[in-house]
Chain A
């Protein structure tokens, strides 16, 4: 009988949820809200390195005869680095929010912490139904960040997103019901064994194919791939910028979690790999083309987030070990430089009050340090060495080439070039374009120091991972070699 080996895993999910409850109770009292948010945020950053690798079995009965008797959480190398990056970005966004706004809302911070807890749980969960519950919680917390802005556009985007999230979640539950009826278990490891022993769960069984299709539908919705890219990008554009940064982090990591589950369970069904790959290519191309047409800085960044999500999905759907390493590494890199870009957008908004390209220009005089750091993040998203975007995009293209998917490599290169064009256009229009003296004088608000600190940390990490990518990829190798199958 196998018992749990690592007790702190549950704390990594329970402490952000406890923080959410306490922050909601402390709402209105500024100092206690800030103290609770800072202390629990710091705890979430430290915990992934204090927890040992292992698993935690929730019923107390362990595994009996090799079968799971309760919900199992697995903590391994890739979950350690993903949970750390998630907690770090959440902590930096909490710092940015509490220092930028005079009245700090405890409920808003509660939803940020709830999102962190739910996303961590989706990374650890080895139980498909527990994954579904925390996926719903994470989608609701993302919507809450957008609702908090209060404008009509935000409410319209949130109601559309929440309605389809309810439906997509129910479809995922229907797929889980089909898998339960075929394999007799909700635990993903047990389901893998039941599928491998060639019982009823084979690719020729229509119920199995139905479960596969429903899971891929939920994956496409949760990551904002091709048919649902508009809903997702409207939600990113509907929130305050630091909220958008946390939202896109949650989306990327939920995508990695669900993508790994789909690869583990449905690797025999060859059709879905092509389906996911085409949806990813659609997201890449449509995202960057829509981004080129935008004349609002925040919306343009939201569409770029969709385009880069296509890169991660392409890496996961190719399915070879090198592609999985590259895909998850690209997710890590993307959340770092995209959060830096969103924070830069918020600095521009604090100074000028708008993110419209027509009314911005020569922000470099008012925001010198921010301009330089954001330029570094823009080089990172375009894939220019020595930043981390170059390393992960190179690994993705090499993995696609080695899997003999030459068209995918060409599309990746083209989208990268278009991303560079779009980012340099934004950089010129926002920071470098010369404007009249009167317009320059109207922007004199000071940026809080926490923004500069957060930008320095994020762009510094981008540079560090760009120069030494092995620091991140060595965490990803175990899961890639366990899950990755050669593209046959």
Chain B
């Protein structure tokens, strides 16, 4: 049940992010919309790895491998999400540096004024 609910939340977050990128006038809010889209995709990926009544996929001391394989969540999407978070932070940092540059050159962060 939490898996389906997280997919619905991810869809709502994706739509909110898309609306922010398209409709908002301020550059920083557009960048926040792009961050929301990234968060939505991450939530979808992590939701894929959920197992009903499962345990965290960490092999602790004394646990048998067969018990681990029967009860643990799917660990592959976690690797994808970690990489995606890092890519998202790097790209966001680069876009924010460009925002500062645009403000220095034009004096405004409003898309309507910059792209007249």
| A interface with B by C-beta (< 8 Å) | 129, 133, 136, 140, 143, 147, 152, 155-156, 158-159, 162-163, 165-167, 169-171, 173-174, 176-177, 180-181, 186
- Interface residues in B, total, Cβ within 8 A: 33
Select A155's contact among B18, B88, B90, B101, beta carbons within 8 Å.
Answer: B101
Residue of B nearest to A133 (CB): B83
Residue of B nearest to A181 (CB): B48
* A-contact bits for B7-45, CB 8 A (1 contact / 0 none): 000000000001001000001001100100110110011
A174 to B39 Cα, complex, angstroms: 11
With A140-B91, A159-B102, A174-B44 as contacts: A129 and B34 at CB distance below 8 Å:
no
**A residues within 8 A CB of B77?**
177, 180
**A residues within 8 A CB of B114?**
156
Query: Do A170 and B95 touch across chains, with their CB atoms under 8 A apart?
Result: no
**B residues within 8 A CB of A166?**
34, 37-38, 88, 91-92, 95
**B residues within 8 A CB of A129?**
80, 83
Query: Do B41 and A163 touch across chains, with their CB atoms under 8 A apart?
Result: no
A129 to B79 Cα, complex, angstroms: 10
Query: Do B80 and A155 touch across chains, with their CB atoms under 8 A apart?
Result: no
Q: How far is the CB of B38 from the nearest CB of chain A, in Å?
A: 5
**B residues within 8 A CB of A156?**
102, 114-115
Having A177-B41, A177-B48, one finds 17 other A-B pairs with CB under 8 Å, namely: A136-B87, A140-B90, A140-B91, A152-B105, A155-B98, A155-B101, A155-B102, A159-B99, A165-B91, A166-B34, A166-B88, A170-B38, A170-B40, A173-B45, A174-B44, A177-B80, A180-B77
Query: Do A159 and B91 touch across chains, with their CB atoms under 8 A apart?
Result: no
A158 to B101 Cα, complex, angstroms: 11
Residue of A nearest to B35 (CB): A166
Query: Do A173 and B31 touch across chains, with their CB atoms under 8 A apart?
Result: no
A-B contact pairs, 14 of them (CB 8 A): A133-B83, A136-B87, A143-B94, A158-B98, A162-B91, A166-B37, A166-B91, A166-B95, A167-B18, A167-B34, A169-B87, A170-B37, A177-B48, A180-B48
Query: Do A173 and B41 touch across chains, with their CB atoms under 8 A apart?
Result: yes
With A155-B102, A177-B77 as contacts: A163 and B44 at CB distance below 8 Å:
no
Residue of A nearest to B106 (CB): A152
Residue of B nearest to A147 (CB): B98
Query: Do B41 and A162 touch across chains, with their CB atoms under 8 A apart?
Result: no
**A residues within 8 A CB of B102?**
152, 155-156, 159
Q: How far is the CB of A176 from the nearest CB of chain B, in Å?
A: 8
**A residues within 8 A CB of B99?**
159
Query: Do B37 and A167 touch across chains, with their CB atoms under 8 A apart?
Result: yes
